[in-house]
Structure 1
Amino acid sequence: MVITNHSIDFPISHSVRKRSVDIIIILYEQGIEEITSLKYFLNSPIVHGVYIRDNSSHPHEVSAALPNCGLIHYRWMGGNVGLPKAYNNAVAECNAPFICIMDDDTVVPDDFLEEAATYFIDEPAIYLPLVRTQRELISPHLQFDYRIQAITDGDFSDSAHVSGINSGMVLSRDVFATVRYDESLFLDEVDHQLMAQIHERDIPIIVMEDIVLHQSFSYDSNNMQADIHRFRIWKQDTRTYYAIFGKDGKRAAKIRIRMRRRNLIRKYKSLHFLFI
């Protein structure tokens, strides 16, 4: 079920606690102060806590100079344990009625959560903002098993297939009573697999059409060693996720891996990727 309009208006007397939000952010090889929208979250009256899980090679310090730094619940994971393990670790500690998953580089409006709270309903649900890059809308999108299709006409009515990326997604905490981030994955396809679980359980998906977040991506690298490392992770996650869909999925995974390998060989003019 997909809902795109405001379903409920909360009166002023409604308890702030009943619509409070915990934020989950995963760090990797960067400082806490580098999180793009951290100060907004620390100053929002709706935020109950900011749960930072750090997959970096070494821990980082929480600066006492940050406003309301007491809201930060920081934990170093002892190295890179992957996104799902870090997410599940943070979810287990959250206790606000709603949880917002954020990428460290997503730019949010100054009233993001306050506007999001006007969509909250009294049953477990998923709330998706619009997420744009400089070129296109990347979330919500349509998901047909392992195939992803962009939405270009602003029509989010395909309730059986609408999906979205992690960053900016808000979930009722009760959703995690029946779904969990899949720890057989490491980095890629994590959000797609979660949304597949959401659809299987017929949990309502609410598109917050008037909330727009901006996302930057740094997939383009000119560092061959970094791309080798990234390709290994992507290849394994692609195989694991696509295998869920049987022979067709496995065949599609092989095609995707072959195409990406070919592009990397052309990019670096090196046959090294043939052996990964």
Structure 2
Amino acid sequence: MGTFQKATAVVRRGDVHETDLDPQWSVAGKLHGGYLLAVMSRAACDGSAEDHPHPSAVSGSFVSAPSPGPAEIRVEPLRTGRSTAQVRARLTQGGAVRVEALITLERLEEAPSRWSGLEPVDLPAERECPRTPPEAPGGAFPVPLMEVIEQRLDPGRLGFLSGAPSRRGVIAGWQRLADGSDWDPLSLLVALDPVPSVNFDLDLPGRTPTIQLSAYIRRVPAPGPLRVRTHTADVTNGRMDETTYVWDGKDRLVAQATQLAAIRMPM
């Protein structure tokens, strides 16, 4: 099992960052979208000033799926200010653009909220939630991501496993990095792209490749597991939205995201 730090490593050579995309951070043979944005954000942070060490807003468009292996990331500075910097990052492979992202960088703190109108999702104790296995229900497809992410989903929301989905379009659970390291602003991007997607709770099993994802990282998370809740509002013409909220061990909202995904039903 590799570490998140190693899986997202980049090497700067001139104006290009080189990386080796890790096949373990994948679902059904496709690299995980949150993982790809984390690699790109690491490249953006690598070239940023000391005042802007963390990604705080990341908006990524997924043009075509890259394969595991060597890839290049080009980072274009757009603006550098006192508190924030904005860059454009482009991940290419085989001469083709695979993912393009606009990334805002700043210095995040562990400070509590001045105000919050959102309560953390209520979950059973972590030990009472079953760990997600590294394959889809029935062995439909492999999910190597679950070997590097220790995810334990609320058993009350797992009716789809027994053919009785709630059809409410909500999935929630606990997440840890399986290598034992603490979550940070980069790895939170992985938590914000949930697996399984909520389409399973709607009795629409199938792959859900991300088309576009916008994430906000609010603060540096406290050590320990995360609580993650995802819901959808609408499914239309093979497209589904997903909104995800993430809380740390101190019950603070640390990140949130909205994405548009396709639903690819099995033949």
Determine if the TM-score, normalized by the shorter chain, exceeds 0.5: no
- Identify the structure with the greater helix proportion: 1
- Identify the structure with the greater strand proportion: 2
